[in-house]
Amino acid sequence: MTRRKLYHYNFSAQADNVIESGKPLYQEVKGNWNKRYFKNENPIVVELACGKGEYTVGLGRKFPDKNFIGMDIKGDRIARGSAMATEFNLANVAFLRGGIQYSHEFFEENELSEIWLIHPDPQVRERDEHKRLTNPNFLEKYAGFIRPGGLFCLKTDSTFLYEYSVETLKDSPRYKILEHTDDLYQSTLLDDHHGVKTHYETIFTGKGYTIKYIKAEVLH
């Protein structure tokens, strides 16, 4: 392990805004995010596969009346998001270290108002469909966490993942696609991403890639 990674892991271990194995709330937070962590009844928004937490922190700064959780398996990544949230004194932002396949261990039914996926790995090989974060199994899992009428939103530079996700959402009885576009920056939906642009999105758009976007409502 590099010295930098070790520093980030140690930072997460000490950070109050990071929930991870070994900390008291890790096994107690399911169904209790409002009561035990945020200590308010504001809506909860989760960014899955949040990486360095840029989007989670960006939304947290724009919407102080909502609570935000960034979830990722990489402790050195979320340590950076944790540090940013601390720097901006964001009491409405937390980070959860865990695999998305185990998200049912941390979120109760109807506990969330929104889930965001921001540029996840498209997993283009057919044999890796089970890893795609918009495959039918994952979508079913998310629908259980999001209250009826809540939102599931995806931003991606991958045409493959965009088209795949449109089809899987259309095929699911749990979702209704409200809007989608294959070129967010040239569409009337641009305000939907609230002006928060991650480092990698800046790189993608600089290389000429268009950003795709889907907004879907959870029906039941």
Structure tokens at 164: 């795949």
The residue that leads in pLDDT, 88 or 75, is 88
pLDDT tens string 137-158? 999 999 999 999 999 999 999 9
- Write down the CATH superfamily of domain 3-218: Vaccinia Virus protein VP39 (3.40.50.150)
Catalytic residues: 121
pLDDT of the residue at 10: 65
159's enclosing H/E stretch is: helix 159-171
pLDDT tens string 159-206? 999 999 999 999 999 999 999 999 999 999 999 989 898 888 999 899
Residue boundaries of the structural domains of the chain: 3-218
Q: Are 216 and 175 in contact (CB under 8 A)?
A: yes
Which residues touch 60 (CB under 8 Å, ≥6 apart)? 66, 68, 85, 88, 90, 92, 93
